Amino acid sequence: MAWPLLLIAAVLLLLVVRKVFVRRGNLPPGPTPLPVLGNLLHLKSRETHKPLLELSKKYGPVYTLYIGAQPAVVLCGHKAVKEALVDQGEKFSGRAEVPIVDLTSKGYGIAFSNGERWKELRRFSLTTLRNFGMGKRSLEERIQEEVQHLLKTFQEIKDFFTPAFLIRRSVSNVICSVIFGKRFEYTDPKLQTLLDLVAENLRRVDNIWVQVYNFIPSILKHLPGPHHKLTENYQAQLDYAEEIVKEHEETLDPSSPRDYIDVFLLRMQQDSKNPHSEYNLPNLLSCALDIFFAGQESTSSTLSYTLLILMKYPHIKEKVQAEIENVIGRTRRPCMDDRAKMPYTDAVLHEVMRFIDFLPIGAPRSVTEDTVFRGYHLPKGTIIIPVLHSVLYDSSLFERSQEFYPEHFLDQNGSFQKNEGFMAFSAGKRSCPGESLARMELFLYLTAILQRFDIRSDKAPSDIDLSPEYSGLGKMAPTYQISLIPY
């Protein structure tokens, strides 16, 4: 008697689960989900974008995956991503409520907040950053000064070394000057600790435990595992930021705010009687860390990758060096006014960002209201997964998409030309707010380094491997050795 009862119970369970899966609107087709796990087994890869692309070959550029019982609509290719993130930008401007975020920022700050909190904090942050020089000559001068510190350090190194260590510290100082109001020595142990914590959490997001947590958080939150280390690491980052905030509170001068933290603290004082104000300590700490990460991690990794790629392709490096020689010379510091006169260098930097594909999958979004997209009905809150890799490697826009080919960004006359498939900073309402800073840093750092030094690898160009150290949420340049030969 027990077996028929179990069979009936199993059938009823499957019918209930199926009802849960299909009742959420007229969603695009996709692979059949399993109870509880959803489509977890379809994503058995650290390089999550690869199985997503494979599934798109069967189900098309727009299809549905289930993260547990939660539907997520996947977008592949330039047309689908643009139609959503740009053409219907407002409707696709929500940030998906990803379970793993509950272990870290808990929805505070800019990166993973939603609604009025996100709009208010993004608007405040962009205005404040602009007031402290974002996109202006004053910040350009700060970057130039920081570059000189790096070049001086490079000058003292006489043998092969790993450049990522120094590049990360130098680039981080630029954003530190805006957020924290000061730069740090490259040997500063506290800065080292913060950078290590950020890098460690980026690696841990690629851990299988963390990926599974997003599918079955109600179970895994009660079990020990490396996913809980994310919480510990992020709390240590919050403690670091809070210590700096306390120092700022003790020395705050309302008539002369020094940096982002000062301006936020003043706004907290102004709104102190408003119980619904978004200007509070949790948002300040998370905003500071969000901006620090956005202004440091991707830029430093991209710059490290650029040097490696140029050693792999010395003929491209020589063209960049020739352009530096012709436009800037050997004595004057590079400046942003030079970029318009250096189309090949600009094209190389764009191609690096396209080719390395730092974030293959854009941070998950959600629709802010019931939305009709390509004939499908997406209920409010539906998770959206834009596969940015599929845009950056879209062969309809990049003729040699699998190769490193700067001509993707040059016209027939050798002038720089934009390519609508360039979405290295994502697109639409949730695009990276630090894009202008990143572009400025990459140009000024690269031209200054190649103006002062020739770069040599300890390997033959044909033996240089460009495969990333790890991939999934993000990619980093593999560890490599470089020698800088002064001119």
* Residue 452: predicted pLDDT: 96
Q: Is 276 helix (H, G, I), strand (E, B) or coil?
A: coil
Residues in the chain: 487
How wide is the angle at C-alpha 449 spanned by C-alphas 446 and 452, nearest 5°?
145
* Residue 475: predicted pLDDT: 80
CB environment 402-436: b (16+ within 10 A), e (fewer): eebbbebbbeeeeebeebebbbbbbbbbbbbbbeb
Amino acid in position 36: V
Question: Among residues 45, 89, 96, 90, which one has the least CA distance to residue 74?
Answer: 96
**Are 100 and 91 a contacting pair, CB within 8 Å?**
no
* Residue 13: predicted pLDDT: 45
* Residue 130: predicted pLDDT: 85
The domain segmentation of the chain, as residue ranges, is: 17-486
Strand duo 453-457 + 376-378: pairing: unpaired
Cα 380 to chain centroid, rounded: 25
Amino acid in position 202: L
Right CATH for 17-486 from 3.30.70.1230, 2.40.50.140, 1.10.630.10, 1.10.1060.10 = 1.10.630.10
User: Tokens 């001509």 identify what position?
Assistant: 407
Instruction: Quote the longest CA-to-CA distance of the chain.
Output: 90
Q: How far apart are CA 186 and CA 469, in angstroms?
A: 23
Give me the average pLDDT of each 10-residue run along the chain (487 residues).
44 45 72 88 80 95 92 96 96 87 85 91 91 74 94 95 94 91 88 84 69 74 77 89 94 93 96 93 94 86 96 98 96 96 98 94 92 95 95 96 97 96 93 88 98 96 90 77 95
Q: How far apart are CA 28 and CA 205, in angstroms?
A: 28
* Residue 470: predicted pLDDT: 66
Work out the end-to-end distance of the chain between its first and last CA atoms, rounded to an integer number of angstroms: 87
Q: How far apart are CA 475 and CA 484, in angstroms?
A: 25
**What values do phi and psi take at 132, rounded to 5?**
-100, 20
**Are 230 and 204 a contacting pair, CB within 8 Å?**
yes
**Are 216 and 37 a contacting pair, CB within 8 Å?**
yes
pTM of the model: 0.89
